[in-house]
Amino acid sequence: MKLIKSTIVLLFMLAACNSQGSEQEVNDAVKAYVLSSGKPHKLRSVYGVDLPSDGFDSFYIYPSIISGELNVSPFVYFDEKTKKSTGDSYTRCNIVMSFHGGVLIAPRQFVADDAKNSTPCFGFDKKISIVKNRSGSWIIVNALYQGMSGDPEIIPEVYSFDGKKLCYSDSASLALESGKISVKKLVDEIISINKYDECSG
């Protein structure tokens, strides 16, 4: 059988059992991440999700998707750290990934000179792309930020996983958003972590 070194996997968000890390482990990791900046308020709404009868918690984890050994779940949360420093309330978006029983979250800082870092994130579109090559995997999600008109605007965000660290790549995200690179072309992009990437430990 001919081995294909590089593949592009386009997946739709599906509810799935977390075989690499239990659902409780993922939930606990996200909760610890959210609470690390202080006790947050509850979310008022989450894009594409009906309001539960008892309301939302301070974070919401979308159903996971599985691609090989990777199990990825986007999540939205209330960022108490931003509220303390600016007085404004922001909801933020990130992803959590389980791999070989471990759970990884990229430590998003939201300090770059980017307009989306000073606007709330409402949640995620349901499509996610995972691009694999010999250096690892690119994970592309479509986050919805508040646009100039106040309506949600889809902004692609790119993460990389080199087999050890999960990183948010601001440069790759901006390149994809501006059209300088496409999802298909990421198959030829070797993952190389730089000092500006926000990576798990």
Can you tell me which residue has the tokens 């991440």?
Answer: 33
For residue 2, tell me if it sits in a domain: no
For residue 200, tell me if it sits in a domain: no
Has residue 169 got a pLDDT over 70? yes
Distance in Å from the first CA to the final CA of the chain: 37
Contact partners, residue 3, CB within 8 Å, separation at least 6 = none
Mean pLDDT of 99-126: 83
Tell me the residue range of the domain where 146 lies.
Answer: 7-193
Number of structural domains in the chain? 1
CB atoms within 10 A of CB 49: 14
Dihedral angle over CA of 78, 80, 86, 91, nearest 10: -10
Has residue 132 got a pLDDT over 50? yes
CA distance readout (Å), 7 to 54, 148, 197: 42, 37, 24
Ranges 42-51, 69-78, 80-89, 157-166: which has the least confidence: 80-89
19-23, 35-39, 83-87, 134-138 — which one is most confidently predicted on average? 134-138
For residue 39, tell me if it sits in a domain: yes
Ranges 79-93, 113-127, 173-187: which has the least confidence: 79-93
Let me know how long the chain is: 201
For residue 201, tell me if it sits in a domain: no
Contact partners, residue 144, CB within 8 Å, separation at least 6 = 47, 121, 122, 123, 124, 125, 152, 153, 154, 155
For residue 136, tell me if it sits in a domain: yes
Has residue 38 got a pLDDT over 70? yes
Phi, psi of 34 (to 5 degrees): -65, -40
Q: Which residues of 24-34 are buried (b: 16+ CB within 10 A; e: fewer)?
A: ebbbebbeebb
CA distance 54 to 169: 36
Look at residue 10 in the predicted model and tell me its pLDDT: 31
For residue 184, tell me if it sits in a domain: yes
Q: How confident is the model at residue 29 (pLDDT cuts 50, 70, 90)?
A: very high
Has residue 178 got a pLDDT over 90? yes
For residue 198, tell me if it sits in a domain: no
CB atoms within 10 A of CB 161: 24
Can you tell me which residue has the tokens 């958003």?
Answer: 177
- At 183-193, the pLDDT tens digits run 989 989 999 88
Mean pLDDT of 70-78: 93
For residue 16, tell me if it sits in a domain: yes
Look at residue 86 in the predicted model and tell me its pLDDT: 59
Q: The pTM is what?
A: 0.84
* HSE-up of residue 127 (Cα within 13 Å, Cβ side): 8
